[in-house]
Amino acid sequence: MAHERYDCNEGCPVEAALEVIGGKWKSIILYHLQHETLRFNALKRVMPGITQRMLTKQLRELEADELIIRKVYAEVPPKVEYSMTDYGKTLEPVLLALQNWGIGHMERERL
């Protein structure tokens, strides 16, 4: 496949994508939310290296970018769930490609 050149003065599409899903945690959060709705503590459990503060920050940014939705239930104790929006679900092929590449990379590193 030929590499297309983009005028980065007009904006680079890869840069634009990484601006939204880049960083250490955002793609991992999206990976965990792509097939199920999770509460904050459930997300924290599947990502043991993330701090509560960082998880909160990343969730807020993903919500602001309309990739996830935060649903608050009016009950005591408070119940909050996170799930992917339809727009966020458009990233599923990207997340699958990253997962498959990661599997191959991890196997290569073990050699």
CATH class of 13-110: mainly alpha
- Tokens linked to 31: 């990976």
- Count of all residues that appear for the chain in the document: 111
- Has residue 111 got a pLDDT over 80? no
pLDDT in tens, 53-92: 999 999 999 999 999 999 999 999 889 999 999 999 999 9
Quickly state the pLDDT bin for 110 (edges 50, 70, 90). confident
pLDDT in tens, 7-47: 666 778 889 999 999 999 999 999 999 999 999 999 999 99
**Every domain of the chain and the residues it spans:** 13-110
Q: Up-side HSE of residue 61: CA atoms within 13 Å toward CB?
A: 16
